[in-house]
Amino acid sequence: MTAIKHALQRDIFTPNDERLLSIVNVCKAGKKKKNCFLCATVTTERPVQVKVVKVKKSDKGDFYKRQIAWALRDLAVVDAKDAIKENPEFDLHFEKIYKWVASSTAEKNAFISCIWKLNQRYLRKKIDFVNVSSQLLEELPKVTEESVPSGENQSVTGGDEEVVDEYQELNAREEQDIEIMMEGCEYAISNAEAFAEKLSRELQVLDGANIQSIMASEKQVNILMKLLDEALKEVDQIELKLSSYEEMLQSVKEQMDQISESNHLIHLSNTNNVKLLSEIEFLVNHMDLAKGHIKALQEGDLASSRGIEACTNAADALLQCMNVALRPGHDLLLAVKQQQQRFSDLRELFARRLASHLNNVFVQQGHDQSSTLAQHSVELTLPNHHPFHRDLLRYAKLMEWLKSTDYGKYEGLTKNYMDYLSRLYEREIKDFFEVAKIKMTGTTKESKKFGLHGSSGKLTGSTSSLNKLSVQSSGNRRSQSSSLLDMGNMSASDLDVADRTKFDKIFEQVLSELEPLCLAEQDFISKFFKLQQHQSMPGTMAEAEDLDGGTLSRQHNCGTPLPVSSEKDMIRQMMIKIFRCIEPELNNLIALGDKIDSFNSLYMLVKMSHHVWTAQNVDPASFLSTTLGNVLVTVKRNFDKCISNQIRQMEEVKISKKSKVGILPFVAEFEEFAGLAESIFKNAERRGDLDKAYTKLIRGVFVNVEKVANESQKTPRDVVMMENFHHIFATLSRLKISCLEAEKKEAKQKYTDHLQSYVIYSLGQPLEKLNHFFEGVEARVAQGIREEEVSYQLAFNKQELRKVIKEYPGKEVKKGLDNLYKKVDKHLCEEENLLQVVWHSMQDEFIRQYKHFEGLIARCYPGSGVTMEFTIQDILDYCSSIAQSH
């Protein structure tokens, strides 16, 4: 162990100016035995620092390294585990507890003893040594630093050879003194014994001198002792005086304590008074209502602007007093309770006065507004409610106050407002719609034809009156074609453009009057009743059922404000209740327009769509947007019904067996519908609805044209198909309807095919025998007979050919063509003007047949010299002459 100690001193501690005093070989308790050393060290320089250092042998070589160091002043407890039995375990309590097992009990005890001694000498700190034998904790001799020569290395104890190293190095002063002494003695180095004897002699001389000096100073010591005795007597006297002074000061101290306690009580009283004054000032400042405000609440004039302003300020002041946040304990004060009760009474009184006054205002408004209805009864305008709204908005702040303080009365006012205004608006709107219906139908006498009577404006007309109207309003074109058709219930689509324009203007004016009326009322409700009106979901009339029962909101206590979503619903429900007659009246007006002329549904669809789009841009959840949206559905249904009726009428059409067909009525009606629709739907929002209607109608037209053509007996099928599809193609080309491009091409193809078919069929009759002869020739060639051998067939020899050709001289051909022209003229109608087109096509087809016959003669009868009795030029002259003569 000594060798290890010297090695550690040399390699680890000397370079750090430290001295190793004790060492113990240990390992951690409870783990694999990895040995290390705990070293107790002190620094060689002052101030002395005492440390416990853990040293561990390196894994890479046979040398030691410093692992961790703790300052001894951080050590709190040394636990030796057992003070009686030998036990190598011990604990050191630094910032945490370190458990160690020493290699031997002797090393552990020596290390703990060293720690105790270092603590006693350098730290003077109370380190708890637990379970340590008292023999190890012997008291060190009291040695001060002054008693140790400054030039000597100090050990922990005077003669502890285990703690202090045998060799102590000289300091610089000691080395200098020795050098001076050695310089004074020449043989100090060569003869050490002589030098030692000389030093011994000098030491004896010095000891003798010291003894003589002590003996000479004995008298002085006696004098000093007398002086000390006298000093002690003086000290006793001073102590007696101090005791008397202390007794005197004790009474003063008691008096000062009493004064201090009295001052504390005075300060406490002052503090309490200040706090009490603060609380009283708080209550007075926040719960005191001015007399002027009280008078305004009790007797204020709610009719004048100045009175309303005074009442508003007083109500706000009352609300602030009632809503003041009281501090803990205030509500237990009798004065506070009385003031709160007074405020509650004032609130109740003013709320009753305000509700009564506003109810009177609502009633008066209904009477005043009724007097203005007469002047609007002849004009298509709605009365203006702006003055009434302006007067009521002066009470908006008071309504907000009532809403926050007495929700029950606020709710009652809301219900009364809806009741009065709904009756007023119902009278105004019904009279307004009555005027609109009269203007649509003309005079009052004429309006009875449509089932209108009284001021309610309801439609009571029967199906017979509708049929009568339809027949009477049919145009000249329908009457001209009535001899061809038996259509039963005829549509009123032949009313002139002026009537339709008039209806369009009236309908637009109705919507234009309703829109600002509803928006103004909704805006007023939001401002007057302090409700938020944006971003709510659309509602229906069913949501207003609770309003009719007198309940505006559900589960809202008095004074509890509605959440935002409920306020939005409340606005919508109020508007539904107030304007509950708008939607039925609009539906009645739409039904009347549809009775007058089914094509009016086109105007209504465009106008209603535009107004719905405009209303949704302003507020998609507003009552106006929702109501117009519901009515738009009805208009769309009428529009779809109009389309379905037209298709049904196409299917029910019957043709006359005695006269030619010509352009079918539903083809002309489609042309009229398409032209009217294109003018109405120009730049409209709902173009898609029209395109769908076009598709349905055109397919119905195509199917029923073919159906009528198949049933026609007087007019050939090809003529019916050709004329009507030509008319359809011309209509689609003129209107340029983009969604019907495919149908336009189909109509053109059908027209071309049936024109060709009719021409070929008609030309087979003028040269009937010649046609049959050459058909037989072509049949023989088709059977496999060579063309040049056909002339050897008995039925088709040259003599038979000459015989057939002689039957058709130029004069006979011209006669046949003239008869054909007359026949075609009888088949075709004058409206479509296709006679010349058909005749020109027949001329071209006749020339094509002529060239075909000439070719067959040249191939099948070569060298026979047989030719036709007329030429191509003759054909051109015949056709031109016939066309000019007719």
- Residue, of 868 and 442, whose pLDDT is higher: 868
Tell whether domain 1-137 is in CATH 2.30.29.90: yes
Q: For residue 781, how far is the Cα from the chain centroid? A: 83
What does the buried/exposed string (b/e) look like for 711-741 if buried means 16 or more CB atoms within 10 Å of the residue's CB? ebeebbbbbbbbbbbbbbbbbbeebebeebe
The answer to whether residues 626 and 538 touch, using CB atoms and an 8 Å cutoff, is yes
pLDDT score for 856: 86
Please state the rounded mean pLDDT for residues 186-206: 78
**pLDDT tens digit sequence for 693-727:** 989 999 999 999 888 888 887 788 888 888 899 99
559 close to 407: Cβ distance less than 8 angstroms: yes
DSSP string, 568-606: HHHHHHHHHHHTTTHHHHHHHHHHHHHHH-TTHHHHHHH
The whole-number pLDDT of residue 69 equals 92
Query: DSSP character for 452?
Result: B
Cβ of 532: how many Cβ atoms within 10 Å? 16
- Rounded percentage of the chain residues whose pLDDT exceeds 70: 83
Chain centre distance of CA 622:
20
Q: What is the pLDDT of residue 556?
A: 38
pLDDT digits (tens, 9 = 90+) for 855-864: 888 888 887 7
Give the model's pLDDT for residue 138: 65
pLDDT computed for residue 481 by the predictor = 35
Predicted confidence band of residue 102 (pLDDT cuts 50, 70, 90): very high
Is 89 in a helix, a strand, or coil?
strand
The closest of 773, 779, 799 to 853, measured between CA atoms, is: 773
Confidence class for position 189, pLDDT limits 50, 70, 90: low
Measured distance CA(241)–CA(236) in Å, rounded = 9
Closest alpha carbon to 598 in 473, 682, 483: 473
Q: State the pLDDT at residue 84.
A: 85
Residue 587, pLDDT score: 93
Q: Residue range 397-403: average pLDDT?
A: 90
Q: Give yes or no for residue 810 having a pLDDT over 50.
A: yes
Classified as helix, coil or strand, 681 is: coil
Which two three-digit tokens encode residue 642? Answer: 């109009």
Q: Kindly report whether the global pTM for this prediction surpasses the value 0.85.
A: no
- Residue pair 487/652 in contact (Cβ under 8 Å)? The answer is yes
Grade residue 534 by pLDDT with cuts at 50, 70 and 90. low
What are the start-end ranges of the H helices in 784-860? 798-806, 810-827, 835-860
Summarize pLDDT for 308-358 with one digit per residue, the tens.
999 999 999 888 888 888 888 877 888 888 888 898 999 899 999 999 999
In the predicted structure, residue 527 carries a pLDDT above the cut 80: yes
The yes-or-no verdict on residue 53 having pLDDT over 90 is yes
Cα separation, 655 vs 747, whole angstroms = 22
Residue 40 is predicted with a pLDDT of: 94
* Maximum C-alpha span of the chain: 202
- Please, what is the angle between helix 741-763 and helix 687-711, to 10°? 20
864 by Cβ neighbours in 10 Å (0-12 / 13-18 / 19+) ranks as: middle
pLDDT over 60 at 377, yes or no: no
CA distance 882 to 874: 12
Alpha-carbon distance 50 to 708, whole Å? Answer: 127
Looking at every residue in the chain, the average pLDDT score rounds to 79
Give the DSSP letter string of 144-213. Answer: -GGGS-TTSPPPSSSS-TTTS-S-----HHHHHHHHHHHHH-GGGTT-HHHHHHHHHHHHHHHHHHHHHH
Distances (CA, A) of 676 to 484, 501, 690: 25, 11, 11
Question: What Rg do the C-alpha atoms of the chain give, in angstroms?
Answer: 65
Report the DSSP beta bridge partners of residue 98.
92
Instruction: Report the range of poorest mean pLDDT among 219-228, 267-276, 455-464, 601-610.
Output: 455-464
Helices (H), 288-333: 291-299, 305-322
